[in-house]
Amino acid sequence: MEKAWVVDFGSQYSLLIVRRIRELGVYAELLPWNKLPSFLPPSVKGLVFSGSYASVSKGPPLPEEWIGQRPILAICYSAQWIATKGGGSVVESHAREYGPALLELTAPSPLWKEVPSPTRVWMSHSDSITSLPHGSRPIARTQDIPYAAYELPEKHIYAVQFHPEVVHTEKGLILLRNFLYEICGFRGGWRPENEIEQIIASLQASMPEGRAVGAMSGGIDSTVAAILVHKAIGSRFQGFFIDTGLLRQGEAEEVMEAYAQVGLPVRRIRAHKPFFTALRGLTDPELKRKAVGRVFIEIFEDEARHLPEVRYLVQGTIYPDVVESGSGLSATIKSHHNVGGLPERLSLKLIEPLRLFFKDEVRALGRQLGLPERFLSRHPFPGPGLAVRIVGEVTPERVARLRQADAIFMQVLEEKGWLYRSWQAFAVLLPQRSVGVAGDQRQYGETIVLRAVNSTDGMTAEPTPLPHEILSEAARRILAQVADISRVVYDLSTKPPATIEWE
Ligand code: XMP
């Protein structure tokens, strides 16, 4: 399969370049600069060299042996590195040029097909090119920098000092498309859905015999991973959905229904009691998380041991998890995954069919595999469940209180058409008591926090700007309907510095 390689020199945008290329119908992979193979496979038809946090004099080296072998799009740091190596020069400035700039195209280039001049681009660099490498020609400038882009035709290098991959570069996608299709000659047409057969075939090859088990969380990733494995090995797959008692109202039923709809063999294990027993008396967030994780593993292990010939554990690890784990080549289980430690304890081989896909691609796979739209658009939900949304001790009564308030908030959002305009929305229960009046009685009820955030990947977030009318309607209904709640507040914190969850 034809593909593009994106070499990461330590830019915060590297993964975004991969995403954008895939959006344009070309399969792309991210390779860290210090783990490059010596040989460029024929399937790699184009290279993108990323920016970097470092300045040219102190930063990582580019793979010189690859230069000239394939067309290269060099972004920012890489454009500067190539300039200095080829006899040009770069000045290091201490002031970072950061933000929008107007790019003026000064010479024709295949990169500029359908790009108007001037066009807005996004800059983020501190070094700047002051003279170009031998054999190159300038093709664009901005008011502040004379060589905002250049070409080195002999070596098929196209270099830009701005970031085409960020949305603030108006014609960034067109520029990337030009590089891929006009310059590298990709055929395109890559779509994650077209990979399904291939994924299933390779799963079959890697699981020749024995059973596979999956800890189903109700999330999209574990579900799509399980469907693929089930398609590959049929009844040799068995999923377990552990109902911890810490799920939202109606969630366990909804999730089991979705599994049934796609014919996935998943057994629901009702285990409220052991979770509540383990959580009794605990108020420290870390201890609560650990307790939930420990009980989860014990129950799952017990179930899996009752099945004969279990060899594999299916996990919904996705591409950003793999890349964030550091090497870019191997995944470590996310520490917050409930199954941490299980593969070793049961000597199971880890099966991760989604390790090369992004979240939105997993959604596309799920859609193709027949998962209902409602299931695909669910908000993310943390593994330890409502335990991390209840500050203080987790008791069945407090879980019931939070569930009811959370369901009311979701109902109001849905009625007003805001549920899917927010990336994640939920209620939190605080033990803070305050005075209120219920009927003729004074009461000292607990506090509900409403939280709704906008985000793309959960790494950063800002509060969803919910209309006041929605917030006050949710507050009114919660105060009227949920016993022992005296106050409702809205959380306006951004991430960073706050996190999305409260614990
Ligand atoms: P934070 O609170 O770290 O959350 O800003 C970022 C995103 O991750 C989810 N989250 C978790 N997911 N297990 C999970 O599977 C966890 O322990 C966990 N903690 C946070 C959170 O809901 C948000 O979407």
Query: What's the pLDDT score for residue 445?
Result: 96
CA of 163 to the centre of ligand 1 (A): 29
pLDDT tens-digit series, residues 278-304: 999 999 999 999 999 999 999 999 999
* CATH of 3-183 among 2.60.40.1760, 1.10.357.10, 3.40.190.120, 3.40.50.880: 3.40.50.880
Q: Give residue 414 CA to ligand 1 midpoint distance, Å.
A: 22
Name every residue whose Cβ is closer than 8 Å to that of residue 27 and which is 6 or more positions away in sequence.
1, 2, 3, 4, 190
What's residue 325's pLDDT? 60
Domain ranges of the chain: 3-183, 192-376, 389-490
The pocket around ligand 1, CB under 6 angstroms, is made up of 336, 380, 382-384, 424, 458, 495, 499-501
pLDDT at 93: 74
User: Which ligand 1 atom sits nearest the alpha carbon of residue 217?
Assistant: 15
Which CATH number is associated with domain 192-376? 3.40.50.620
| Ligand 1 atom at shortest distance from the alpha carbon of 219 | 15
Tell me the two tokens of residue 485. Answer: 């709640």
Among 46, 345, 2, residue whose Cα is nearest residue 184: 46
Nearest CA to ligand 1 atom 12: 382
Q: State the pTM of this model.
A: 0.85
- Of 244, 317, 428, 500, best ligand 1 pocket probe by most atoms within 8 Å of the beta carbon: 500
Q: Fold identical between 192-376 and 389-490? A: no
How many Å lie between the centroid of ligand 1 and the Cα of residue 331? Answer: 18
Topology (CATH level 3) of domain 389-490: GMP Synthetase; Chain A, domain 3 (3.30.300)
Which atom of ligand 1 lies at the shortest distance from residue 289's CA? 17
pLDDT score recorded for residue 339:
60
Torsion, Cα of 33, 35, 36, 41 (10° steps): -130
Whole-number Å distance, alpha carbon 266 to ligand 1 midpoint, is: 24
- Is 163 one of the annotated active-site residues of the chain? yes
- Which sign, positive or negative, has the C-alpha torsion 171, 175, 180, 182? positive
pLDDT < 70: residue spans in the chain = 94-96, 324-341
Q: Is 184 considered catalytic here? A: no
How far is ligand 1, taken at its centre, from the CA of residue 434, in Å? 29
> Which DSSP string do the residues of 235-289 spell out, in sequence order?
GGEEEEEEE-S-SPTTHHHHHHHHHHHTT--EEEEE-HHHHHHHHTT---HHHHH
- Which pLDDT score, from 0 to 100, does residue 94 have? 67
Residue nearest to atom 14 of ligand 1 (CA): 382
Q: Given 125, 156, 163, 337, which residue is catalytic? A: 163
